[in-house]
Each structure stands twice: as structure tokens, then as C-alpha cells.
Amino acid sequence: MTETTMNALVSPEGSLEILSNYEVNRLKDKSEGGLYRLFRQCALAVLNTGVETDDCKELMEAHADFDVRLVPQPRGLKLELINAPGHAFVDGEMLRAIREHLFSVLRDIVYSHSLPNSVAGFRKDNPEDLTNLVFHILRNARVLEAGRQPDLVVCWGGHSISHDEYQYSKDVGHQLGLRGLSICTGCGPGAMKGPMKGATIGHAKQRVKNGRYIGITEPGIIGAEAPNPIVNELVIMPDIEKRLEAFVRCGHGVIVFPGGVGTAEEILYLLGILLHPDNVDLPFPVVFTGRQENAEYFEMIDKFIRNALGDEAASKYEIIIDDPIRVAQTMKQGMKDVETFRRAMQDAYYFNW
């Protein structure tokens, strides 16, 4: 069956986006240095939220006639979508979640490519400059909330997992939600969607009105891991390295579900930070968890870490098998430890400097 497509003129939920002529021209620029191709690719990925595909090239080829154009308005701009996937609409109206994600893409692509050029002396090889860039992108996306106590649990794991593994991640998310904790993931399917879906039920039972489901992605993988519809705060980081840094800067603890090489890279990145001498006393709860069938996987990971990095690295995490309640209780206590430590050190809750 041929998929239906639609043409639409889309406005943001609130005020219209305001862009300079330079920013608009860069978004229209189809040359190598322009942002048109990047914006089109990310916009198409967002419009395919919920579609089962992990091949960005296949997605682009299937919608070769899709286009997105900027339409200037007296008080900002709108987006004109041509041959957009029909499943992004209900009775001719775009789904609100997809519309929010679409303008998040616009916001972050423009901002992350404009900021380095506007900051005097910015150097891509300077770690402090890169951390400041991550901070500014997260702040611009309104992810950083100054008055909020630590409650953000980052969940990592595979995007292509079995139904049983997905259900387990959902059960863990449910227990986190019952304890008022919010979720941050890579925003895609699988272990990135399960905890969010479970948390929505937990939050509903506890009447949590301000639950956060933050999705942090980047242009290189958004086509393969399109944002799931539960995400209510989407952030597009410039690349995979800044995405990784954003996770540990804004999160207050990490849960790792079984995954592939990407998950292994995330684990090693996090352990490298926690093993730094400056962070030796830093409370940051890390839990590896999965079903009983995944115990061997985590034994292998644990053995590798101990052989490669030593027992000190292994002391930075806890392995909990087939026990969502204990995982959530460990995270809840970890949040309290983080809050106590940062209050004593007069550190910000919202960003881990």
C-alpha cells in the first residue's frame, strides 16, 4: 500500500520562531556549508516518529520528494511541509508532539551552529569551551531548571531489543515514576522508550504534573532512532560527543540496560569521568540492570571493566538483576545523596559542572 503524504503550513505552539536573515539563509542554503540538508534530514526523522526503521538512508530514499521550507511571517516564521508523511497527521492536523519536536529541531540546529561563530575566542579543541557550548544549548532548550531538585535519571540501552527486555525497561520506568523521578534517554525506541512509557503510568498514579521525558539526540543518529512520541523535551546536540556530555551534565544518575557497542561506549565514557581524581568523592548513582537472561551480559561487561580499568572502576556502579523496585529505590536514594552533596558544595542542581 502506498503511503499517503500531505502538504501543510505549520506554526509553533507558542510564539513564532524569530530568526535573523543570516540564519534563514543558512537554513535555505543547499550547499555543503549550508544547513538545509541537515534540517531536512532531522525534520523528516521527527515526522516519522513511531515508524519501525533504523536505516536513515532508507528513510531518506523513501521520502525523496519531501521538502521543508521557511515561510517568513510579520512576527516570525512558519514551516511549509511538502509531501510530509501522512501518519504525522490526524484528520489533517499535525500531532502536537511531532509539531513540538519539529520546532525543537529548528531551534537547536540554528542555535548550535550560530553560537560558536558569535562567541569571541571559541575553540573547538578547548574542553571548557565545549562544555560551555553544551550548557548554552541545554539552557536555550529550557532543559535546565534552576529551582528543581535532583530527579533526572538517564537511561541507556539498545534501541532494537526483545519484547521481554522492553517490558523490563518499562517496569523499571514505572517504579521510577512512582517515586517521582523523571527520565532522560536518547529519545528513540527500545530501552529509550520503555522507561519513559513506564514512568508516564507511575506519574499518573502519583498525580505528578511536571514529569519530564527528555530526549537528547544528534543529527547522525536521529534518522535511525527517531524521537518516540512520549518525549516532551527534545534536544538536538551537534554531535555524538556533545550528546554524551549533555547526558552526564544534566542527569543526576544513570541506569544502563543491555545494549550494543553504543551502550558500551557510553559506559566507558561515564566511568572515565567518575574515575577522574577531581570526581573521586562525587555521588552519582549508576546501575546496570536487566532480566535474568541478561545476567551473563552484565557479568561479561563487569569482567571486562575489572580487567581493563581495575576494581576501582567497578566500584562506581551496581549490578541489579530482575528487580525494578530495587533499581528505583537505589536511584531515589542516589538522588538524595546528590542533593545533599551539591547543597553542601554549593553546586548547581541543574548542571553538573
pLDDT interval class at 24 (50, 70, 90): confident
- Among 54, 84, 118, where does a domain finish? 118
As a whole number of Å, the end-to-end CA separation of the chain is 52
Mean residue pLDDT of the chain comes to 91
Greater confidence (55 vs 218) lies with 218
Over range 210-219, report the average pLDDT. 95
- Domain assignment present for residue 261? The answer is yes
Give me the percent of the chain exceeding a pLDDT of 90. Answer: 68
- For 65-107, write each residue's pLDDT tens digit: 999 998 887 777 889 999 999 989 999 999 999 999 999 999 9
Least confident range from 7-21, 139-153, 263-277, 330-344: namely 7-21
Over range 303-330, report the average pLDDT. 97
Instruction: Print the domain residue range for 167.
Output: 142-345
pLDDT interval class at 245 (50, 70, 90): very high
Cell matching residue 46:
521527527
Same domain? 220 vs 98: no
Residue 193 above 50 pLDDT? yes
Same domain? 291 vs 238: yes
Same domain? 204 vs 269: yes
Least confident range from 50-64, 171-185, 306-320: namely 50-64
Same domain? 170 vs 278: yes
Residue 52 above 70 pLDDT? no
Residues in the chain: 353
Strand partners, 183: 153, 213
Write down the pTM of the prediction: 0.93
- How many separate domains does the chain show? 2
- Domain assignment present for residue 295? The answer is yes
- For 225-237, write each residue's pLDDT tens digit: 788 889 999 999 9
Structure confidence at residue 1 (pLDDT): 42
Residue 7 above 70 pLDDT? yes
Residue 265 above 70 pLDDT? yes
Greater confidence (32 vs 277) lies with 277
- Domain assignment present for residue 128? The answer is no
- Domain assignment present for residue 130? The answer is no
Same domain? 99 vs 181: no
Same domain? 112 vs 206: no
Over range 188-214, report the average pLDDT. 95
Parallel, antiparallel or unpaired: strands 253-256 and 152-156:
parallel
- Domain assignment present for residue 243? The answer is yes
Q: How far apart are CA 269 and CA 309, in angstroms?
A: 12
Q: Are 194 and 176 in contact (CB under 8 A)?
A: no
Structure confidence at residue 318 (pLDDT): 98
Residue 2 above 70 pLDDT? no
Over range 258-279, report the average pLDDT. 94
Same domain? 234 vs 271: yes
Q: How far apart are CA 292 and CA 295, in angstroms?
A: 5
Same domain? 113 vs 232: no
Beta carbons within 8 Å of 300's beta carbon, 6+ residues apart: none
Q: How far apart are CA 32 and CA 275, in angstroms?
A: 40
Residue 6 above 50 pLDDT? yes
Structure confidence at residue 224 (pLDDT): 73
CA angle 301, 304, 308 (to 5 degrees): 140
Over range 289-298, report the average pLDDT. 96
Over range 142-169, report the average pLDDT. 94
Give me the percent of the chain exceeding a pLDDT of 70. Answer: 95
Q: Taking the CA atoms of 162, 168, 173 and 178 in sequence, report the sign of the dihedral they define.
A: positive
Same domain? 157 vs 253: yes
Helices (H) and strands (E) in the chain, counts: 13, 12
Strand partners, 254: 154, 286
Same domain? 114 vs 147: no
DSSP letter at 69? E
Q: Which CATH number belongs to the domain containing residue 241 in this structure?
A: 3.40.50.450
- Give the amino acid at 17: E
Residue 345 above 90 pLDDT? yes
Q: Measuring CA to CA, which residue among 179, 209, 215, 219 is closest to residue 196?
A: 215
Same domain? 158 vs 113: no
Q: How far apart are CA 123 and CA 305, in angstroms?
A: 33
- Domain assignment present for residue 307? The answer is yes
Structure confidence at residue 16 (pLDDT): 56
Q: Which CATH number belongs to the domain containing residue 16 in this structure?
A: 3.30.1850.10
